[in-house]
């Protein structure tokens, strides 16, 4: 939720990260960041209200990729290590709910 709120505020370091990863800058990067912020906030709300497995899988993958984006865009690898909780927390929740073994389990609480 916090990162989504920062994205909606167009945090400059997030814009720099988008530009470093994709080469996208200017208003297109701002629109992309606003979209990412909205998706992050919606994901956080659903994780609290209705934490289904597919959502937790998405949050785990997204958290891992955004943490990995730091060293890929030129920041120290420790920035990735520092952000392990961004993907570790949804992964732990997914583990507690049991890893899905079929399609129907993806949408169960």
What pLDDT is recorded for position 58? 94
pLDDT per residue as tens, the chain (109 positions): 999 999 999 999 999 989 888 899 999 999 999 999 999 999 999 999 988 999 999 999 999 999 998 898 888 999 999 999 999 999 999 899 888 888 888 877 7
Instruction: Note whether 104 and 56 are same-domain residues.
Output: yes
Number of domains, the chain: 2
Do the beta carbons of residue 41 and residue 5 sit within 8 Å? yes
Instruction: Note whether 54 and 40 are same-domain residues.
Output: no
User: Within 10 Å of residue 84's Cβ, how many Cβ atoms?
Assistant: 13
Q: Which distant-in-sequence residues (6+ apart) come within 8 Å of 93 by Cβ?
A: 47, 51, 56
Give the global pTM: 0.83
Instruction: Note whether 45 and 60 are same-domain residues.
Output: no
Instruction: Note whether 14 and 38 are same-domain residues.
Output: yes
24 lies in which domain range?
Answer: 1-49
Instruction: Note whether 17 and 39 are same-domain residues.
Output: yes
Instruction: Note whether 37 and 5 are same-domain residues.
Output: yes
Instruction: Note whether 55 and 102 are same-domain residues.
Output: yes
The CA distance from 25 to 38, in Å, is 19
What pLDDT is recorded for position 40? 95
**Residue 58's closest CA among 30, 76, 39, 37?**
39
């Amino acid at each position: 939720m916090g990162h989504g709120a920062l994205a909606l505020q167009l945090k400059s370091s997030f814009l720099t990260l988008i530009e470093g990863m994709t080469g996208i800058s200017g208003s297109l990067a701002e629109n992309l960041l606003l979209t990412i912020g909205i998706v992050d906030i919606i994901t956080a709300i659903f994780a609290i209200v209705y934490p289904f497995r597919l959502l937790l899988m998405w949050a785990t993958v997204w958290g891992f990729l955004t943490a990995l984006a730091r060293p890929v865009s030129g920041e120290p690898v420790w920035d990735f290590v520092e952000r392990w909780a961004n993907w570790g927390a949804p992964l732990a929740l997914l583990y507690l709910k049991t890893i899905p073994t079929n399609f129907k389990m993806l949408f169960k609480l």
